[in-house]
Amino acid sequence: MKGGYSLVQIGLHWLVALLVPVQYLTGGSIERTHHAVHMGVTPSYWDVVQHHLHNYAGMAIGLLMAVRLILRILQPTEAIIPGTWTGRVATALHHAFYAAIIAQACMGFVASYFWFGIAPYHVAGSRIILAMVALHVAAAAWHTLVARDETVDRMVFPRRKRSAQEL
């Protein structure tokens, strides 16, 4: 197997992958909570819990993605097919993921603590990220089921240290 990611990079990837659906499942509580408050009604307990979960999970995702980006810079992976159009698209999608998810976390933080006016952009960002996730999952399925290559294995099995014979 070529290239690959470190165990820490893999762990961060899957932790973010588990937290992102939490954001989509709890996001509706934000509007319900704010609407109840503006109507002079006490929001439901469960909506308040989801609201907090959404906020704190979003901050965690932002921090985890920042750590992932730093590790990616410090421990770059070897491109499987550098220079091909699919390799360039994959690289662009990965860079877009870092930018979109970190920006999304920042917008959520700003909306929560400084200026709620940015919320519509935060919602639009969530839809963009959802489309990117769908494309990412489709590409992973294609690599596994059609191409039958080791691309997905790189994010499942940590890279191993190279021996002197492999260099």
Task: Locate 81 and state its tokens.
Answer: 């097919």
pLDDT tens sequence across 142-166: 888 998 888 788 788 887 665 444 4
**Mean pLDDT, the chain, as a whole number?**
88
Contacts 24+ apart (CB under 8 A), 42-49: none
CA distance 131 to 88: 19
CA distance 7 to 10: 5
CA distance 63 to 84: 32
pLDDT tens sequence across 45-58: 999 999 999 999 99
What is the chain's alpha carbon radius of gyration, rounded to the nearest angstrom? Answer: 19
pLDDT tens sequence across 82-114: 678 877 888 889 899 999 999 999 999 999 999
What is the reported pTM?
0.84
Helix H or strand E encompassing 141? helix 119-142
One-letter amino acid identity for 117?
G
What superfamily in CATH does domain 7-155 come from? Transmembrane di-heme cytochromes, Chain C (1.20.950.20)
- CB burial readout 17-53, b (16+ within 10 A) else e: eeebebbeebbebbebbeeeeeeeeebeeebeebbee
Query: Residue 23: pLDDT above 50?
Result: yes
Task: Locate 3 and state its tokens.
Answer: 């290239």
